[in-house]
Amino acid sequence: MQRLLAVLFLAVGVLASRVALAEAMPFADGVLWRIESAEGTPNYVFGTLHSSDERITSLPAAVDEAFAGTQTLAIEVLLDNAAIFKIGRAMMLPGNERLDALLTSKQVGRLKDVAAHYRMPFTMVTRFKPWGAMILFSLPPAEHLRTASGQKPLDETLRVRAEAEGKTVLGLETVDEQIETLDGMMQADQMLLLDSTLEQAVEIERMFATLRDAYLARDLVAVYDLLNAAKLDDTTGAVERFEQRLIIDRNRRMVERMGDLLQQGNAFVAVGALHLPGEQGILQLLADRGYRVTRAY
């Protein structure tokens, strides 16, 4: 789910506006947070970036130490072969329907250019639903190549390590819930967001590098810059509805489901970094429930 937001990120914004946003956004200055219940039971919440870049998957010492000291790992969703197959099927249009039939001639031209940029056959690309194409083109080609070679993104790297160390591994959501988040969007919203994705996809390497650097700097405000700018340009409300479905609604669901886990203690929760900050972010929701939230890194 973080993949589309990677594409939506742009290095925009004046320093003054970034400072104002940082002051207004709780918990925006870190990626690892210590979570303690009223009884003092310690846990950690870690914000991830969906990337297999070694600069991302190599954990900083503070994160590595926190992970090593916990007994349970909770991630957004558990992806076994059956789950991956289900997601792949859900991304495809039914029957003989084609994506290019839903697009304007200008958008079809963009789709052809993007497919060529990714060295993917155009006929294959046209089999995807609008949101499926967004997912497909929200990571740079290098990420797809690393995945094809067997390298795993950060969240999957944590899962593999946790299983090897004998930790309990849990998912906070089901595959069906994650699919519905995107598949349940209005088609008009999907088309608007796909158009934005196609327009920016040829610059995905630059944008993703900027996102990666912001993440490594633990600057979560930077990830929200474009979302705020996009709201100003979008008169249909599609971006706001998308953020509500992808971030806010899921924040509440995941916090609800991690309750028992945090009470037991020694848990390491790893979710996309965009879920952490803000007044409706996971960390604020946990603080509202009485947990003590302290930055660890």
Q: What is the mean pLDDT of residues 279-290?
A: 96
User: Between 234 and 69, where is the model more confident?
Assistant: 69
Sheet with 168-171, side-by-side order of all strands: 168-171, 72-75, 267-272, 42-48, 32-36, 292-295
3-class DSSP state for residue 171?
strand
**pLDDT range class, residue 210, cuts 50, 70, 90:** confident
Grouping H, G, I as helix, E, B as strand and the rest as coil, residue 92 is strand
The mean pLDDT of 253-259, rounded to a whole number, is: 97
Q: Confidence class of residue 287 from pLDDT cuts 50, 70 and 90?
A: very high
Local confidence band at 55 (pLDDT 50, 70, 90 cut-offs): very high
pLDDT (0 to 100) of residue 20: 42
Average pLDDT, the chain: 88
Tens digit of pLDDT for each residue in 127-149? 999 999 998 998 899 998 998 89
**Residue 254 · residue 271 · CB < 8 Å:** yes
What is the structure's pLDDT at 200? Answer: 85
Query: According to the model, what pLDDT value does residue 211 have?
Result: 85
* CA pair distance 216, 221, nearest whole angstrom: 13
Tokens of 65: 């130490």
